Amino acid sequence: MKKKPLLALALMLQFAFVAQAQQEPVDLDMVHRIKQEGLQNSQVMKTAFYLTDVSGPRLSGSPGLTRANEWAVKQLTGWGLKNAHQEEWGTFGRGWEVEKSYIAMAAPYYQQLIATPKAWTPGTNGEVKAEAVLVKLEKEEDLQQYKGKLSGKIILTQIDNEAKTTFAADAKRYSEEELHEMAMSLEASRSQSSWTPERIAEYRARMALRNKANEFFKEEGAAVILSTRGGMHGTHFTSNGAPYAPDAKPALPELEMGLEDYNRIVRLLEAKQPVKLEVETKTRFFDKDMKGYNVIAEIPGTDKKLKDEVVMLGGHIDSWHGSTGATDNAAGVAVMMEAVRILQAMGVKPKRTIRIALWTGEEQGLHGSRGYVKNHFGDPATMKLTKEQEKLSAYYNLDNGTGKIRGIYLQGNDAVRPIMEAWLAPFHDLGATTVTIRNTGGTDHLAFDAVGLPGFQFIQDEIDYDTRTHHTNQDSYDRLQADDLRQAATIVASMVYHTAMRDKKLPRKPLPKPRQTS
Amino acid sequence: MKKKPLLALALMLQFAFVAQAQQEPVDLDMVHRIKQEGLQNSQVMKTAFYLTDVSGPRLSGSPGLTRANEWAVKQLTGWGLKNAHQEEWGTFGRGWEVEKSYIAMAAPYYQQLIATPKAWTPGTNGEVKAEAVLVKLEKEEDLQQYKGKLSGKIILTQIDNEAKTTFAADAKRYSEEELHEMAMSLEASRSQSSWTPERIAEYRARMALRNKANEFFKEEGAAVILSTRGGMHGTHFTSNGAPYAPDAKPALPELEMGLEDYNRIVRLLEAKQPVKLEVETKTRFFDKDMKGYNVIAEIPGTDKKLKDEVVMLGGHIDSWHGSTGATDNAAGVAVMMEAVRILQAMGVKPKRTIRIALWTGEEQGLHGSRGYVKNHFGDPATMKLTKEQEKLSAYYNLDNGTGKIRGIYLQGNDAVRPIMEAWLAPFHDLGATTVTIRNTGGTDHLAFDAVGLPGFQFIQDEIDYDTRTHHTNQDSYDRLQADDLRQAATIVASMVYHTAMRDKKLPRKPLPKPRQTS
């Protein structure tokens, strides 16, 4: 009996020792220096300016994307990064850009309309002045009554989408309650409650009907299609109206517009008030080089044993075409570029190589990152992995708008929790507090996760991403939050630095099964 | 001593009797019927549709205004009102409308821009493709350095107006606290704290400099001026860029745009990135009939003694040109028209004549109502009043957007407080609770107030008036709140009815001094 307390004490000491050994080291001197450079000497808004205002819309395959890629290579080289270049990831398809876009109502009175040609649709071949026709479309058979009536017409299809005034703010930040709920998640994959099987089926049926209808309108010789996917007060959402594949069937000219302009025409037509529109769009296809290219650059590792190992960070540099893709995703690119600029400006000598990647083709299906991963690390379809796959410690991604970093998604990787908690601790005062087991989807870290590599995306304040910027005609420079981007770049620089200096690579989850491409 | 309590009791009874005599009668049966018709059978949105979508922009002197006036006369007649007609109020000036408006950035890349020609500016006479030039303008002498450099150019002047993301909602309603504060006001005229003498002087100096600059740009042969008065996400404010007087000096073509599009060009030019724009605007002046006309119609009074007395209600039907003036002020017109429709549909036989007036020229200085008042009631410059002035009981105005009625401004007239309190009581459940001694300005009731007539404007919830609709390119039908307009029309109908049936006309304030045109 006497020895028991001693044994207990010994066990306790042993436990304490183990716990101490597991305490992830944080280089607070480096954190201080990174904060100094990142918060005091930030160039993140200058970088964002060149990506947005100077480069313009960066649709994959477009001259705007090429301008941005070329500028990024030059700028990364200028900051002293090594091996900056554009690296082909595979075949994308045709490029496309808008050369003119004009639409107005000409009768019953003149009114300019705000609209954007859908990507990869043709232009109107000069100005079209024509009547608008409302096609009431609930099922395929509804089309038959319009046979022979649509030649030369401008087509709208019935919508029931009110442009309802909202009494909530466009922009918001996470509340402490929301962050707490994320931190306390029971599982990595939440049930996708908003996309129920019924909703998916309904969506697919709607898309199929739309495609049938668009084919019908083309056969009937309609001149232009107008559509809307929401947006208010001059803000509207933009997307593609035809495939970018070089052998895609020709489509009709199609423009997307906001709800008010669309609803007005619908209301007038429903009240039997004739509406005439004038439309002139000119779009251009590019098919000389159908390859896709990511921008890659490095701060080489300096440790004999570890310099072949790599830490990656990145975000997609391509955008939709309605504006200059400021929050989606010049913000993420500017932050990642600023993170390596901070480290380079400090003259850090990382043990592992730090590699930045600016992906393209993301908006059409994470093509750039998936191509890169397949070329370098392995094929998720077969799970045949490369030697390089063993050498990558982690990939950090940023692609959730302009909001500051509030924490990180562990993407189901419990083993990295204590590491991330330790590395985020010096940034609690900047609002980055939350580590959540949750997965997050929809962007390039998934390409890494699919071949068993630790790929992470940060939790960011949403700001006005859903309401005003994400895939809209208003995603321009002024929507960027300068302070948030400074904060994010500083945190990313520190996370990447610590990953590059750590004794071991980051722990991994068990390998996924083949074809598990999430 | 014995008699004193009795005397006190007698005095108390007398007081009670007096108080009871002063209790304003309310016809709750009529209120019930008005609510039935106004809330169950509302046509207010249909009326708003014809004023906005069908008529279009209603700038004073424009064909859009004529369409709306003609439709209103026809509709009021159709509802059974008598003597519906357009009544000339005096000379306005030239009409003007937009026939084409197109602007885009052509270099460094193509990007459509959202902009509206300023009212009464000329068009570009075909498409202008030209360089944008940033004129840094703080004082008149700054212009000299641009001498000889602006020919054929598109001019922007430096601004420091950030398009800052807001975390507040665009739309809001009055809180109970705000209404309470209004009700508890100590005086009718609040100190105009936001327009201090310094601010007024600064504003005047800025306008004077702008006028000097615009003359200079014209002398130098510039092609187009671009300007902004704020607005975000595709919403921008619109105004006039030249006078409507027939002898106004010719101006340059000038367009107004939102902050983001403007700021982008400024940023590019500041970074020495050449910007080319393409602009084509066509505007048209109308000088055949330079008179201004209000729409007038009546429900005739039926009481032998009182039918020559009049109760008026109205709002201005003219708008700015950037959209269809839905909340400024198709909303007010639709509500006032609906109020008389309700009464007419109920077959009321008012003692006094009820007269609706839809004013024009309001946006340029309350011209229509001031002209009407001068023609009918008296000249505020001399305070020579007419016989008709004696016959008007009250004028009710609505021109604060689409929000429901929360109460009424007494415009400093304490004597009507118990009357208004009694008449609003049956509408407390609809949110109309507040009677405030305060004045409110800026619209047509002031014309009546200026000649000693009881002119009232209602307290309305602001909704998104300041942020999205008031004088913007986005003031269109979808911004109307149908429920709010139904509520407002119902309340106005009851107020007007009770005014028409009251034994006496409404009490008046002491006559103002001559030239006191507030």
pLDDT digits (tens, 9 = 90+) for A457-514: 999 999 999 999 999 999 999 999 999 999 999 999 999 999 999 999 999 999 999 8
Q: Are residues B231 and B368 in the same domain?
A: no
Of the candidate ranges A177-191, B95-109, B392-406, the one whose mean pLDDT is the lowest: A177-191
Strands B291-299, B353-359: pairing is antiparallel
Residue B10 counted as domain residue: no
Domain's final residue, options A286, A316, A345: A286
Q: What are phi and psi of B455, to 5 degrees?
A: -120, 125
Residue B276 counted as domain residue: yes
CA angle B125, B126, B132 (to 5 degrees): 95
As for how many domains chain B has, the answer is 2
Amino acid in the structure at residue A148: G
Residue B124 counted as domain residue: yes
Q: What is the pLDDT, as a whole number, of residue B215?
A: 96
Q: Are residues B197 and B256 in the same domain?
A: yes
CATH assignment of the domain containing B487: 3.40.630.10
Q: Are residues A297 and A224 in the same domain?
A: no
Nearest CA in chain A to B164: A478
Residue B8 counted as domain residue: no
Give the structural domain span for A338. 25-92+290-501
Under DSSP, is residue A268 helix (H, G, I), strand (E, B) or coil?
A: helix
Q: Which residue has the higher pLDDT, B461 or A6?
A: B461
pLDDT higher than 90, residue B7: no
Residue A507 counted as domain residue: no
* Section B114-129 average pLDDT: 98
Q: Which residues of chain A lie closer than 8 angstroms to B116, CB-CB?
A: 112
Out of A49, A116, A162, closest to residue B267 by CB:
A49
ipTM above 0.85, yes or no: yes
pLDDT higher than 50, residue B3: no
Cβ of B234 and A473 within 8 Å?
Answer: yes
Domain's final residue, options A269, A286, A303: A286
Residue A184 counted as domain residue: no
| Minimal C-alpha gap between B436 and chain A (Å) | 26
Out of B171, B267, B323, closest to residue A167 by CB:
B171
* Section B256-270 average pLDDT: 97
Q: Are residues B208 and B340 in the same domain?
A: no
Cβ of B233 and A260 within 8 Å?
Answer: no
Q: Are residues B44 and B144 in the same domain?
A: no
Amino acid in the structure at residue B347: G
Percent of chain A with pLDDT over 90: 90
| Contacting residues for B78 by C-beta, under 8 A, at least 6 apart | none
Q: What is the dihedral of CA B436, B440, B443, B445, to 10 degrees?
A: 50
pLDDT higher than 60, residue B168: yes
Residue A271 corresponds to which tokens in the numbers above?
Answer: 């009240």
Q: What is the pLDDT, as a whole number, of residue A194?
A: 73
Q: What is the pLDDT, as a whole number, of residue B5?
A: 52
| Minimal C-alpha gap between A405 and chain B (Å) | 18
On whether the pTM is more than 0.90, the answer is yes
Q: Are residues B446 and B334 in the same domain?
A: yes
pLDDT in tens, B37-52: 999 999 999 999 999 9
Of the candidate ranges A83-92, A156-165, B89-98, B224-233, the one whose mean pLDDT is the lowest: A156-165
Contact in structure between B375 and B386 (CB atoms under 8 Å): no
CA distances B327 to A187, A200, B460, B488, Å, are 49, 39, 12, 13
Q: Are residues B223 and B339 in the same domain?
A: no
Of the candidate ranges A494-498, B155-159, B206-210, B482-486, the one whose mean pLDDT is the lowest: B155-159
CATH assignment of the domain containing B128: 3.50.30.30
Domain's final residue, options A264, A286, A308: A286
Q: What are phi and psi of B513, to 5 degrees?
A: -75, 155
Q: Which residues of chain A lie closer than 8 angstroms to B175, CB-CB?
A: none
Residue B400 counted as domain residue: yes
pLDDT higher than 70, residue B19: no
* B481 vs B489: CA distance, rounded Å: 12
| Minimal C-alpha gap between B100 and chain A (Å) | 7
Q: Which residues of chain B lie closer than 8 angstroms to A464, CB-CB?
A: 165
Q: Are residues B310 and B163 in the same domain?
A: no
Q: What is the dihedral of CA A419, A423, A426, A429, to 10 degrees?
A: -90
Q: Which residues of chain B lie closer than 8 angstroms to A54, CB-CB?
A: 108, 268, 271, 273
Cβ of A165 and B463 within 8 Å?
Answer: yes
Contact in structure between B140 and B209 (CB atoms under 8 Å): yes
pLDDT higher than 70, residue B33: yes
Residue A195 counted as domain residue: yes
A192: pLDDT confidence band, cut at 50, 70 and 90?
A: low
B517: pLDDT confidence band, cut at 50, 70 and 90?
A: very low
* Section B282-311 average pLDDT: 97
Q: Are residues A398 and A263 in the same domain?
A: no
Q: Are residues A104 and A83 in the same domain?
A: no
Q: What is the pLDDT, as a whole number, of residue A30?
A: 98
pLDDT in tens, B342-387: 999 999 999 999 999 999 999 999 999 999 999 999 999 999 999 9
Length of chain B: 518
Residue in the structure block whose two tokens are 């480069």: A55
Q: What is the dihedral of CA B103, B144, B271, A401, to 10 degrees?
A: -50
pLDDT higher than 70, residue B194: yes
Out of B56, B260, B268, closest to residue A478 by CB:
B260
pLDDT higher than 50, residue A312: yes
* B457 vs B479: CA distance, rounded Å: 21
* Section A328-332 average pLDDT: 98
pLDDT higher than 50, residue A518: no
Q: What is the pLDDT, as a whole number, of residue B518?
A: 44
Closest to A339 in 3D by CA, of A498, A460, A480: A498
Nearest CA in chain A to B110: A99
Q: Are residues B366 and B451 in the same domain?
A: yes
* Section A364-375 average pLDDT: 98
Element (H, E) at A178: helix A176-183
Question: How remote is the C-alpha of A379 from its chain's centroid?
Answer: 22
Cβ of B165 and A258 within 8 Å?
Answer: no
Q: Are residues A328 and A359 in the same domain?
A: yes
B244's torsion region: left (phi>0), alpha (psi -120 to 50) or beta? alpha
| Contacting residues for B319 by C-beta, under 8 A, at least 6 apart | B57, B58, B59, B325, B328, B329, B330, B363, B475
A304's torsion region: left (phi>0), alpha (psi -120 to 50) or beta? alpha
B454: pLDDT confidence band, cut at 50, 70 and 90?
A: very high
